[in-house]
Amino acid sequence: MKKSLTPLCKKLGYHFNDPSRILLALTHRSFGGQNNERLEFLGDSIVNFVIAEELFSRFQEAKEGQLSRLRARLVRGATLAEIAKEFGLGDYLRLGSGELKSGGFRRESILADALEAIIGAMYLDGGMEACRQCVLQWFESRLDQLTLEDTQKDPKTRLQEFLQSRQEALPQYDVISIEGEAHAQTFTIECNVSMLQDKTIGIGSSRRGAEQQAARKALEHLGVDKANG
């Protein structure tokens, strides 16, 4: 790889004793040969454990379900991709020509997977404590912003439970449009709720995100959520 990894390692806050480990962590399967999928598997388990341990310590009054939802919010792909972008990780990825042409270096799933792979590589290179310190440093600002109010169930789940409690039909989500290239699509989703005269619309970079937005608007119209959503 022509580009020096030193600036990236400085941003990560970790110096690899074996540089081949981070190189492998940055290698997508499209590149050919060995890739980062095994390291991603390891890193996924580690980041879940480190964040779970930290949440367990910070929120001593929280119930299991609350802790699970807080962890899910932190270690979801979108959050991992945000952190990867903060490090400029896309500039260092090793991708095949097809992924390069389609903008794979910007794709959230690839960025999130690479970050997990780096966590796995750090664990193998420096052990659990060094890995834990880095992960907690990366997530520090997000951890500091968390409160138990963030453990509320997602809008789609709350809308479904609200309707079920009133023996109403479940909401129906329909795709109205999908625009943009494969790596940067925008989804428009329509949510149809029997208790509402008008359908609600959600727009997002993923189908799930658009559905959640449409469900949130439906909850607002039903008076379940405040209008500030």
What are the E-state strand segments in the chain? 172-179, 186-192, 200-204
225 as an active site residue: the answer is: no
Single out the residue of 39, 31, 19 nearest to residue 118, CA to CA.
39
Binding residue numbers for Mg(2+): 40, 113, 116
CA Rg, the chain, in Å?
20
Q: What is the DSSP letter of 228?
A: T
Choose the catalytic residue: 54, 99, 108, 116: 116
In the DSSP assignment, the letter for residue 120 is H
How far separated are the first and last CA of the chain, in Å rounded?
46
Residues at the annotated binding site? Answer: 40, 113, 116
Q: What are the counts of helices (DSSP H) followed by strands (DSSP E) for the chain?
A: 10, 3
**Cα distance between residue 140 and residue 170, in whole Å:** 39
Report the run of H or E that residue 96 belongs to, with start and end: none
Catalytic residue among 44, 54, 99, 108: 44
DSSP3 helix / strand / coil % (the chain, rounded to 5): 60, 10, 30
44 in catalytic set: yes
Active site residues: 44, 116
